[in-house]
Amino acid sequence: ESLEIVDFSNNLLTELPPGVFADVNQLRDLDISHNNLLYLERNIFENCPELRRLELYGNAIAEINREHFWIPRELDYLSIGDNQIERLQSGTFRLLRNLTALGLRENFLRELGHDVFQGLVSVEQLDVSDNLIGRVSPGTFQGLSNLKVLMLSGNFINTLPIGLFNNLKQLSELHLQGNEIKHINENMFHGMVNLRIVNLNGNCLLDIPPNLLISQDTSIDLDVSQNKLNNLIDVVRSNTFRKATNISTIMLYGNKITELEDDSFDGLLNLSELYLDYNQLNEIPITLFKANPKLVHITLSHNYLSTLRSNSFAGLFQLNSVELSFNKIEYIEEGAFYGSAITFLNLENNFMQEITQDTFKGLKLVYLNLAGNNIRQINEISFQNQELIEGLNMKDNIIIDIHENSFNNLLRLRELDLTNNSLYEISSKAFDKLVSLESLKLSQNRLTTLDVASLARMSVLSHLEIDQNQIDKFDHFLFSLKSLIKLSITNNKVQKFPLMFFDECTKLQSLDLSHNRLLVVDPRWLRHITELTFIALTGNRISHILPDTFNQLPALEILSLGSNSIRHIPEDMKILSLKHLNVSWNQLDWIESSIFPNLPNLQELDIMGNFLTDCFITDHLRLLIASNNRISRVVFDASGMFPLKTLYLNNNKLRNVDALFSLSKLESLDLSSNQLQNFDLHQLYKWKHLTSLNISSIGNIRMPVEEMKPTSLVGIDLSNNHINDLSVDFLQAIPRVNELHTVGNRIGRATLQNIKKYLHHLIHLEMDEP
């Protein structure tokens, strides 16, 4: 009787027995999420007067009304997201006067009527995001005087009726991202004095109306990124921001802005963050930021800037970070950074060729990113005045030489990335002063040897990468690297390691030796690195696994043995902590089922590209990749609920997959290139969480001839199946689909018209000409 919390989540419940809660009159919190409930009996909670929180997310409820769905009046939290609700009747929630949070996301709602939320006088958070809503009535939110957070994102709203948000004076967050809004009336937010976040990302806005945000008393974050604001100068000239002095963050990235004027942001006295990335700017006016003394962060990446002029950031004494990556900057004028406090500077992917002692004059950098430029040499004065640097990224340049004194004053340097340059060798003294270095990346160079002694002073080094070089052997073991946690030596030419090579690396947790020329893994290499959680040996020449090779690794979670020549997995391989096993593209024709009890925590298994005829699904797998085998039978090791979310069985010899409908948690399924008999689309609703389905080239698909239950599918591939028609019943059951493949069928023009009619948000359609 004193029970207050009950959790029935993640079961297979289709109904609640009458009287199930008759004796729990103190029940306050009930979670029945992720089941298959269709409705709630009217009197199911009549003996639960204290019930306050009801979680029904992820069921199969299609309708909310007083007959089929009885809601306790005293609730303060109700979540009915991820169900199959298509409409809300007037006054559905009118008796829930204590409700403070209502979640309706991820249903199939197409519109919100003017009184659907009538009576919700206490609600503070309302979430109707990720539905199919195209229309919102003017009075929809009338009476929600305590509403603070409103989420309408991920719908198909193209118009906001005037007065829609009237009287929402407590609203602080408004999320409208991912809709199709083209215009906003300038009075839309007037009177909303507490508005703090306005997210209009990913709509179709062409302009920002004047005086849109002048009523607010608090600092405001405005996100209008990824719209179509190519005429920002005209917008600014109309004083859009002139009176909006409380805006603290403006996101304008992903528009088509080509030009800014000196006074573009003059009214924004409290602006702290400005995002102008992914536009088409060629230059930045020198006095652009003169009226924004509180700027802390500026992002200008992914534009067309070629030069940074003197005093570009003058007067910005609080400016901490500047993003200038992916431009065309060749030249930085002396004094470009004068008068600023920049410590984080990103110049990745520009056209810089050299670093002089004046390049960053006036700065005390902590992090500097110069990756992806055209720098050929690091000389001894390149970083002479930057002794505070902790992170230096020089990858993807064409560096052929590093002066032995280049890093001598970088005593605080913790991360150094020299990946993908043209280094043949490195001076044994180049790293002598890097006593604080924790991460060193030397991959994708042309090193034929690595003098392990050159790393001797790196007593705190925890991360070392030397992948994709030409190293064929190591003569010494890794002495002094007792702090090493991650070591990667992939894509070299190593055939074996000295027996004691890893012995002092007792803290090593991740070891990647993929794509070398190893014939065998000697268990003695691993004897002292018992903290390993990850080991990859993919792409070597291993033909067999020696006894107890991996059994001595009690913490191992990920083991990758793909693309070798292994014929057999030892039956006595016992790794209690293993979560991921990859034995793809070997020569396995059988895996003993008795191995799985020795791997009790295995969640992900990749057996693709072998010669297996049976596929074994355990009750703890979440991902199984079994493509490109000879599988004709799927075997389950137990009855009941399986947590499997991803299953790839494509290119096998399956003929019947009815048993797979019991996998109720599936999210992604590939059955393509099998020879299935009468695959019944009418059964798709049983995979209620399935978003991606590939059933191309399976031979025989049965189209539904009566109404189907809605599915959650987002992408489906029906190619090469001799289909003549996609029935209306089928199309109405896949309203969320944005990607559809029907190549290699015989679909006519009438079906094409129906596809356009019923799949409103289709983005990608691949089909033959009707």
Domain regions of the chain by residue span: 1-75, 633-766
- The rounded distance, in Å, linking the Cα atoms of 717 and 119 is 45
Instruction: Write down the pTM of the prediction.
Output: 0.81
**Of 102, 95, 101, 88, which is closest to residue 72 (Cα–Cα)?**
95
User: SS3 string of 458-494?
Assistant: CCCCCEEECCCCCCCCCCCCCCCCCCCCEEECCCCCC
CATH superfamily of the domain spanning 1-75: Ribonuclease Inhibitor (3.80.10.10)
What's the confidence (pLDDT) of residue 238? 46
* pLDDT digits 0-9 by tens, 178-237: 999 999 998 899 889 899 999 999 999 988 887 777 766 778 899 999 988 766 555 554
Look at residue 383 and tell me whether its pLDDT is greater than 60.
yes
Q: What are the pLDDT digits (tens) for 457-510? A: 889 999 999 999 999 988 777 777 899 999 999 999 999 999 989 999 999 999
Backbone φ/ψ region at 701: left (φ over 0), alpha (ψ -120 to 50), beta: beta
Digit-coded pLDDT (tens) for 575-633: 999 999 999 999 999 998 889 999 999 999 999 999 999 999 998 999 999 999 999 99
Q: Which CATH class is domain 633-766?
A: alpha beta
Query: 635, exposed or middle or buried, with CB in 10 Å at 0-12, 13-18, 19+?
Result: exposed
Phi, psi for residue 662 in degrees, rounded to 5 = -80, -10
Same CATH topology for 1-75 and 633-766? yes
- For residue 440, pLDDT over 70 is answered with yes
Q: How many CB atoms lie within 10 A of CB 713?
A: 20
- Locate 275 and state its tokens: 């995002």
- Does 762 score more than 50 pLDDT? yes
The mean predicted confidence, pLDDT, of the chain is 91
Residue spans of beta strands (DSSP E) within 317-381: 321-323, 331-332, 344-346, 367-369, 377-378
- In angstroms, rounded to a whole number, what is the distance separating the alpha carbons of residues 589 and 629? 9
Specify the pLDDT at position 523: 95
Beta bridge partners of 55: 31, 79
Mean pLDDT lowest among 50-64, 188-202, 443-457, 716-730: 443-457
Higher pLDDT, 153 or 333: 153
Which of 709, 705, 730, 707 has its CA nearest to residue 718? 730
- What letter represents residue 690's amino acid? L
- Is residue 385 over pLDDT 70? yes
pLDDT level of residue 710 (50, 70, 90 thresholds): confident
